[in-house]
Amino acid sequence: MADNMVAKEQLRTIVERIERLEEEKKAIADDIRDVYAEAKGNGFDTKVLRQVIGLRKKDSTERQEQEAIRDLYMGALGMIPDFERAGEEAAE
């Protein structure tokens, strides 16, 4: 019976900690939203800003691999003019 009481107390504590963290997470999300609104108010493009932040989270090798694949796909779809692709190939 004592084990049951200990388990119930542990469960209650865990649930309360998760609830508290969820509240903190919501507050942080609200703060981030406010910063994006401030950036937009100052004339920054928030969509691009989010992309830049996402790129900063990746290491340079991962970014370069994704850029190369993206360029390959865009080239295959005719989305990159020939003179841009020729310049990239010459650089390699």
pLDDT digits (tens, 9 = 90+) for 7-34: 999 999 999 999 999 999 999 999 999 9
pTM over 0.85: no
Tell me what pLDDT residue 2 has. 78
Burial (0-12, 13-18, 19+ Cβ within 10 Å), 42? exposed
Give residue 25's identity as a one-letter amino acid code.
K
Structure tokens at 30: 């609200």
The percent of residues above 70 in pLDDT, for the chain, comes to 87
Share of the chain above pLDDT 90, in %: 80
